[in-house]
Chains A and B, each alone.
Chain A
Amino acid sequence: MKTNRRDLLKAAAAAGALGAVWPLVGDLSPAQAVEAAGLLGAEYDPAPFTLGVASGDPTPTGFVLWTRLAPEPLAAEQALPEVVEVKWVVAEDRDLRRVVARGTAPASATLGHSVHVSVDGLRDGRQYWYAFSALGRRSRLGRTRTAPAGPVSRVRFASANCQAFHGGYYAAHRGIAREDIDFVVHLGDYIYEGGPVSGPRGNGTAVDFTLGDYRRRHALYKGDRSLREAHAAHPWFLTWDDHEVVDNYSGTGGGAPFMQRRAAAYQAWYENMPHRDDSETALPDPEIHRVRRWGDLLELTVLDLRSYRSAQNLPDGTILGARQKDWLKRGVDRAPDSWHCWVNSIMLNQLRGRPGGDFMFTDQWDGFLAEREEVLTHVHRSGLEDLVVITGDWHSAFVGDVRTDFDEPSSPVVGTEFTAHSISSNAYSPAWNAANGPRMGAANPHLQYFEGNRYGYDLYEVTPERWTTSMRVVQDLQDPVSPVTTLTAFHVDRGKAGAYEDPATKNSPAQYRRG
């Protein structure tokens, strides 16, 4: 019988071999770290493009291309010249013959030898292929697309969030790579900064503080070939949550040691992401929030709920920061007649743990009550329709009505929030979910659905008439090539606030459904 990689990894996991050496412990050489990562299923592209390629922030005229030269992916700094010239090419065909743009870009050691190329002047609504070359080698081929302009009859995209490397294999990203979609949205917790962690894919101890630490963490995560495949297959829009820096942090108010750490984490994030940063500020503080349009069909509002937030539970607290809040409200005022999707890293809807009980987590919008009420009331008063909020962080799936006042069931429904399963970050136990699903349902009348026993991603299909969210789940988190299936789907009809479950899957397993 032929033994394949999947069988080897499963056998290793069963034998307890995984996690014997965590690749990011301090006393390993970069080569030893790669070897240790290999035992956890990491395998890198050929040097120097070990971390693959990516594209992001598509507009009707272009996108950003990304790569990072890392011959030793798990080294904090690369043994390369201070500046390396990287060639790039964009073509209309996968053989890169019908070239539409090409150029060179410098990869500087000061930015981890990363390259971000802003390609412009392309045709809207088109697929393109791209590649980089440097040091006599060519990268893998990437595929991307520009956003359409004008009338659009359909857009399909996926969201990913919470992808703890130790939590399991990225079969979900493998699934995303193979979906027929226009783009991917990452909702945050792309990495986990460390601490004592354990899971099916290793037991980690190292904690990130320095730029080198965070660089190594990102490189470990990109060692999963499925993540690199998903990046190479589609353009991505990006936001972040807390674990790109540290658990539950607020971006403001910290002392100098924390501000050093935050700057290191932010810089490493930029170095490793296809993020366009041409804002009014500057690195190492990238500007995340932005509005993008997919023709006349979809307006995507990407929010940054970490950089500008205050502490939780303050009467005048803010999760958006004053300027982002004003920007969001102005955007609501000027919104076109289309679907409106807020890319929202952490739960917007109220969530009590039991009837009459406290909020479960005030790190989410529940810790910023006045601002949430202000924003949602503004949405209602402005007459904004067709609002869908897509959310990560929770490691479980929720569907709920967005109301202006969650304690008043007769208050207006202004949209629907879909909170997605995690890619691989551990969820609560099945027993917890079984016990608490009904409790949360009883405590939160706006909650329609809860399912916490699975992992995967959400897939969205949007037409002028209907929004559909399909929960795509992996069969086995410990299987790198696990099949992906649709657990259930919810629809929202245009012009009518509120979601309903697809009749074909409404009997699928879940721990709460509103009657």
Chain B
Amino acid sequence: MNLIVNGDAEAGPGGTADPVARVTGWRVVEGAPALVGYDVGQGYPTAADPGPPRRGSRFFSGGESPRTVLVQDVELPAAGRTGRGRVDAGHVRFTVSAWLGGYAAQEDGARLSVEFRDAAGTPVALAVLGPVTSGERQGRTGLVERSATAALPPGARTARVLLVLTRTGTGTSNDGYADAISLTLNATGGKP
């Protein structure tokens, strides 16, 4: 189960290249993102460009701000196969994945990080994905998949998801793109 709300940019206002003030499930900490439709065109990624196989209708972009930052706090499950008991016994792994991209040969970028915290708010694990360079996209407009998996440390209770979309140069559009953002937990043996 994906623990991130609206990691696919499908919910709430959006659909055009215009920035939005609010994003379902996320706090907009800086700038203003656009939740761009794959049918918008105008140089934005389309259904025909590299991207998630099941990409829905929209993706995140940085809007028109030089730096757009979205944050989502996730409470990790209290019980169940990936609940606290299993986490504290060292029997849970996390996987963070996202499709991240940009425009043509430009170096605008999207970076996704997930910081796992203990009950006191101290970081105990970290996953950082991207940003993807134009070289890593072979200079093509589109998004490529990045993922990280690791053991979830005992004591982990929350996750802070941070999506940073950055613009380089003097243009208007912040063409850091992200879609299909996911955080999942998996039990790794031992009795529940």
Residues of A within 8 A of B (CB): 82-83, 85, 104-106, 108-111, 116-118, 120, 252-257, 259-260, 263, 267, 270, 277-278, 280-285
Asked if residues B151 and A108 are in contact (CB atoms below 8 Å), the reply is yes
**Residue in B67, B115, B128 whose beta carbon sits within 8 Å of that of A252 in the complex:** B67
Give min CB distance, A278 to chain B, whole Å. Answer: 4
Q: Please tell me if the beta carbons of A106 and B131 are within 8 angstroms of each other in the complex.
A: no
B153 to A259, Cβ gap below 8 A? no
Q: Name the distance in Å between B76's Cβ and chain A's nearest Cβ.
A: 14
Contact of A253 among B123, B124, B155, B168 (CB under 8 A): B168
Whether A116 contacts B123 in the complex (CB less than 8 A), given A253-B66, A259-B166, A282-B162, comes out as: yes
Nearest-Cβ distance from residue B142 to partner chain A, whole angstroms: 14
Tell me which residues across on chain B come within 8 A of A263, comparing CB atoms. 111, 113, 128
Smallest Cβ distance from B28 to chain A, in angstroms? Answer: 13
A248 to chain B, nearest CB (A): 17
A333 to chain B, nearest CB (A): 24
Some 13 contacts from A to B, beta carbons below 8 A apart, are A82-B151, A108-B124, A110-B148, A110-B150, A116-B123, A118-B122, A253-B166, A257-B133, A259-B131, A260-B131, A260-B133, A281-B162, A282-B115
Chain B window 140-176, contacts with chain A (Cβ cutoff 8 Å), 1 for yes, 0 for no: 0000000010110111000010101011110000000
A256 in contact with B108 given A283-B113, A283-B126, A284-B126 (CB within 8 Å): yes
CA distance A430 to B114 in the complex (A): 50
How many chain B residues sit at the interface, stated as a range, is: 35 or more
Interface of A is mostly: mixed
* A-binding residues in B (CB < 8 A): 29, 66-67, 69, 71, 90, 102, 106-109, 111, 113, 115, 118, 120-128, 130-135, 148, 150-151, 153-155, 160, 162, 164, 166-169
The reply to whether B122 and A106 form a contact with Cβ atoms under 8 Å apart is: no
CB closest chain-B residue, reference A252: B67
Tell me if B166 and A254 are in contact (CB < 8 A).
yes
Contact assessment for A256 and B131 in the assembled complex, using a CB-CB cutoff below 8 Å:
yes
Assess A110 versus B155: contact at CB under 8 Å? Given A255-B109, A259-B111, A263-B111.
no
Taken together as a complex, chains A and B put the C-alpha atoms of A67 and B133 apart, in Å, by 33
- The 3 A-B pairs with the shortest beta carbon distances in the complex, nearest first, are A255-B107, A106-B153, A256-B109
Name the residue on A nearest B101 (C-beta).
A256
Q: Which residues of A contact B102 (CB under 8 A)?
A: 256
- A106-B155, A108-B150, A108-B153 given as contacts; is B128 within 8 A of A284 (CB)? yes
Q: Are B113 and A111 in contact (CB under 8 A)?
A: no
Q: A13 to chain B: closest CB distance in Å? A: 40
